[in-house]
Amino acid sequence: MAGLAIMLGLTPLFDPETGSVALLAWFLGIALFMGWTMAPATDAVVGAVPAAKSGVASATNTVARMVSGALGVAIIGSLINSLYANDVGDSLGGLPPGARATAEDSVGAAHAAAAQLPPDAASGVLSAAGDAFTHAMGIGLTVGAALAAAMALLVVRLLPSPRLTAVQVEASVEGAQG
């Protein structure tokens, strides 16, 4: 989770011209850290109940992950959308009100509005939309990074670390020798 927090915390360093190799490396890092987080979390949930209840624990874990993922996307997405609309709206004061309102909806809408404008005006709209989106995404994912870092600290503090019992150590040593 700490690695995920670090990767999310890198997003303010992005700009509209960030290259595809850097983005690919970032997405790979996010995927690796999510995998390294989810597998042990699932193991901890399923391992905390008797074997007869492991199916229920797995299903509950899946539902919790889906609901929390949807809530996280909704909350961070709303934050990013609000930041984008405020930021891009300030940059497009010279546009007609209809085009400005359209550009404030989303980056895709800004591109659609720019297609209807003369080249000079379109360039300004696209630049403003790209800057506003990148800035909003950086702030939104920094909030996500802070939450991931806080959760990493809670896990370290509250989750008991798995310790091998003397019987487990003896059995593993005998298995390695035999």
Predicted local confidence at residue 147, as pLDDT: 95
Please give the Cα distance from 22 to 45 (Å, whole number).
Answer: 35
The alpha carbon of residue 108 and the mean position of all alpha carbons in its chain are separated, in whole angstroms, by: 20
Do the beta carbons of residue 61 and residue 53 sit within 8 Å? no
> What domain count does the chain have?
1
Q: Does 175 map to a domain? A: no
What is the total residue count of the chain?
178
pLDDT tens-digit profile of 16-58? 889 999 999 999 999 999 999 988 888 888 888 888 898 999 9
Range of the domain at 147: 2-159
- CA pair distance 75, 25, nearest whole angstrom: 25
72, part of any domain = yes
Q: What is the pLDDT of residue 164?
A: 52
Q: Judge whether 39 and 28 are in contact, CB under 8 Å.
A: no
CA 68 to chain centre: 12
- H or E stretch at 135: helix 119-158
Cα 40 to Cα 50: distance, rounded to the nearest angstrom:
17
pLDDT confidence of residue 20: 94
Report the pLDDT value the prediction gives residue 48, as an integer from 0 to 100: 84
Tokens 């085009």 correspond to what residue?
99
pTM of the shown model: 0.78
In the numeric block, the tokens 């360039």 are attached to 123
Structural domain contains residue 67: yes
107 in a domain, yes or no?
yes
Positive or negative, the Cα torsion across 96, 97, 102, 105? positive
Residues of the chain short of pLDDT 50, as ranges, are: none
Residue 26, token pair as written in the block: 């970032």
**13 assigned to some structural domain:** yes
**Confidence at residue 23, expressed as pLDDT on a 0 to 100 scale:** 94
Q: Is the dihedral of CA 41, 42, 44, 48 positive or negative?
A: positive
- Any domain includes 81: yes
In a domain? residue 173? no
DSSP letters of 84-116?
HHHHHHHH-TTS-HHHHHHHHH-HHHHHHHHHT
Q: Is residue 131 part of a domain?
A: yes
Per-residue pLDDT, 33: 95
